Chain A
Amino acid sequence: MRSASRTVVTVLLSILVLGPVVAAAQAVSGTTADERAINGAKAYLKSKGLTSLKLNMMMPSIFTAGSTGEMANFEKETGIGVNYFEVGILQIQAKAMSEAVAKSGSFDFWIGDPISLPDLVEAGLVRPIDDLVARGKPDLDDVVAGFVEQGRYKGKTYGMFGDGDNWIMVIRKDLINAPGEKQKFKAKYGWEPGCPDTYEQWYQLAEFFTRDPKGTGVPELYGAMGYRARGWGWRWWLQQFYAKGGMPFDDNMKPLIAGKEGVEALKDYIALTKFMPKDILGWATPQAYPFYAGGNAFSIMTYPSIAIAAEHPEKSKIAGKNRYCVVPGYMVNGKLVRRSLQGFGNLLYVSNYSKHPEAAYWLSQYLTSKEVSARLVSGPNSVWDPYMKSHLTDPRVIKARTKEMLEIHLKNAQVTAPMILIQGAVEYNDVLDQHVQEALLGKLTPEDALNRTAAAWEKITNQLGRKAQIDGWKALKPAFPTKNVPD
């Protein structure tokens, strides 16, 4: 008996003492996260008896221009290169899902949004990376609060966060400061024009600055821009709904969107659209950014990479003429509630069917390190957006984005809410998207649109299993901001 106790104690002590020793032995050397990624990659190649390696990567086409240079640098340092194939950004989920079925290992890693994470984990495609994170020690501490959690699901880390996509508002300061404009505006609306605190104020700004002097119905200047296209528009409504104090579900997963907050937010969303280009229902980033940078609109609510387009020294007509704003909100119970939305937020995922998951991880860590991510977010064609505290002070990022923009961006991060990141998210969002657009087109009333969405959501929840969905929703709730306005 005594001998057995001694054995148990010995084993426990061994675990306690040897555990950290083994972990330390496995830890990768290097003073910075990018160095450790390079060293880890080299060690991996050596352990496999290889001198070079090509990884296969699935990448949204919009990301290629801003990313391939850094991948080439990694190849020079380590011998690990990338063969990438491009996919439309909204088709990534479907491609990944087909790989979850095929299990072919046709790509080792990919850039994808957090919406698809729960489904792709349940489908068995995404590899958890906690073991590699423990060895590589990436710069997670530097990532803005709340973003790292977007790559986590059921207590495990699945993706390296790399794109701070919480929205920002941009308005044209040159137009506000034009002679006589401030006075005219103040006389009409009773307040000094500037960054709007509320959606009502944004509406007033949009109305005032929409300019159609010839009365052709095609304004020379549009008052507002946001996204309204299929696949995108629902996100902009969701942001307004959150700012109204709304939450999509109660604790039993009963939809709450068809209430007063949802309907009012949808009415405001529709009302604002009349100051946008008529074709906005078919536009996403490739159309919206050049349009705004061409000086055709007074204001835009979009992804922070708008700063790259708007401040581009050659391509933009409005470089230096922009003012970056904390997102507007609504007065809820006498208090202002601002909400930005993490409207995409890309992560680097490693496939469970990769032959070289570790190599894919090291490249992911390299791309999301302080140094390399700063280069990525400041690149001239980049759509990677700042997401680290260190980006705020990095001169390269400041030059590409402006100091003002970065400060506002990180303020917005304090009031950023996640999208609906639970299993079936793509289907929930698709149904919402469809009905929001039909309301926008006048095919349904806002009430009907949201009631239909709520009914469809109930059906989806029942199909997926209410208990599992309740658990998923509860796990997501802490990711919502507690602040109503940023510090």
Chain B
Amino acid sequence: MGGSERPPYPPGARRAPGDPGRSSIDAQATCRTNPGRSWIDGVLARLERERVFKWLPFVPVQGLFALLLLPNALLLVYLSFLSWRITRGAWWNAPFTGLDSFLGALGDERFLWAVGRTFGFAAVAVPLELLLGFGLALLCREPFRGRRIYTTVFLLPMMIVPAVVGYDLSMLLIDQGPFNQVLSVLAGRPITVRWLSDYTAAKLAVIGADVWQWTALTFLVFVSGLAGLPRDPIRAARVMGANRWQIFWHVELPLLKPVIAIAVVLRSMEALKIFDYPMLLTQGGPGNSTETIAVYLWRMGWEFARVSDAAAMSLILLVVVSVYIFIAIRVLRRERRRLAEEAAP
């Protein structure tokens, strides 16, 4: 193929790897016919070739994001190498102590317990939210009378400010409060679970609050996922005699795996930051039984004024959560690739 010839594929078709592409060739042709525009077209062609236009729309948002977050993030890293308390003058005068804050954090039993506890909460709450959200989405999948109302009701908890949820639950969950009264009626005997002051029940209360509020999000994700499932494989399975369960298990569920992975990533990230419920329901108590990482970091930074220690702890947490999210995204990509390969003729 000569340099001046056009490649033999129709407009809009994907170019092969290494193919300079139509724009670049067009630009070269224009260059010969209109030398005045040569450098502009050259730059445009180069930009297109480098797929710059694909990213260009994101530049303002990402730029703003970087502008707002990057200085803070860098300051956080810097502070973690100092020994600064808010009560000890300006941070730029604080002594450099290297990795002391990190070593201190790793030796801080309370911090390690808070990390373990938070992951424990997430490990219980997120699967529950996924199961419930998925179940509700399946119920609302087929048209029925009042479906829109139910859908709205299921989404309502997500629209309430978490602090309000925490405050309301703190009133509902006292041992002689409405929640135990309802349980007592259902059980036919007095139920006096100390939701806010028993070591185990308080944990359940915090998890329950998270599940109540955020099942709505997984519901929304799954409703969208189910609505977007391709019809052809399902019809094909039906024609081949598969029953509803087989279609669900062997066709729909595998197709939903990327959606499930997205829901897991989204909810896990949020669940690991849980703050409002333990603060408002139990103040992290009884003892420290509901003290999550976010609560402990808040105390460390703003109550104890130990900013450098809090910075080191939050960086350790960032690494741990990043590893988790990285693994989850790899799983998500692998599933998408697998589905794409299976869908290919």
Contact = CB atoms under 8 A, between A and B. Distances in A.
B338 interface: no
B175 A97 contact: no
B190 A427 contact: no
Contact of A97 (B285, B287, B302): B302
Contacts of B263: none
B87 A437 contact: no
A123 B194 contact: no
Contact of B303 (A287, A430, A443): A430
B303 A123 contact: no
B299 interface: yes
B196 A430 contact: no
A441 B199 contact: yes
B298 interface: yes
B196 to A, nearest CB: 3
A424 B174 contact: no
Interface residues of B, number: 32
A119 B305 contact: yes
A158 to B, nearest CB: 14
B284 interface: yes
Interface in A381-437: 423-424, 426-427, 430, 434, 437
Contacts of A95: 302
A281 interface: yes
Contact of B286 (A216, A426, A430, A437): A437
A334 interface: no
Contacts of B88: 122
A94 B303 contact: yes
Nearest to A118: B87
B80 interface: no
A122 B86 CA distance: 8
Contact of A230 (B190, B285, B304, B306): B285
Given A278-B197, A441-B286, A217 B304 contact: no
B190 A438 contact: no
B288 interface: yes
A302 interface: no
B151 to A, nearest CB: 35
B215 interface: no
A282 B194 contact: yes
B192 interface: yes
Interface size class of A (residues with CB under 8 A): 35 or more
Given A123-B305, A434-B287, A441-B199, A281 B87 contact: no
A277 B197 CA distance: 11
Contacts of B287: 230, 434, 437-438, 441, 443
Interface in B34-92: 86-88
B30 interface: no
B285 A281 contact: yes
B79 to A, nearest CB: 11
B288 to A, nearest CB: 5
Given A279-B175, A441-B199, A217 B192 contact: yes
Contact of A277 (B175, B195, B302, B304): B175
Contacts of A437: 285-287
A282 B174 contact: yes
26 contacts: A94-B302, A94-B303, A98-B302, A101-B307, A216-B190, A217-B192, A218-B176, A218-B192, A230-B282, A230-B285, A230-B286, A231-B285, A277-B175, A280-B197, A281-B194, A281-B196, A282-B174, A282-B202, A282-B285, A427-B304, A430-B303, A434-B285, A434-B288, A437-B286, A440-B286, A443-B199
Interface of A: 90, 93-95, 97-98, 100-101, 119, 122-123, 216-218, 228-231, 277-283, 287, 423-424, 426-427, 430, 434, 437-438, 440-441, 443
Given A229-B283, A279-B176, A430-B303, 14 more contacts: A93-B303, A95-B302, A97-B86, A123-B87, A216-B190, A230-B282, A277-B175, A281-B286, A282-B196, A283-B174, A437-B285, A437-B287, A440-B286, A443-B199
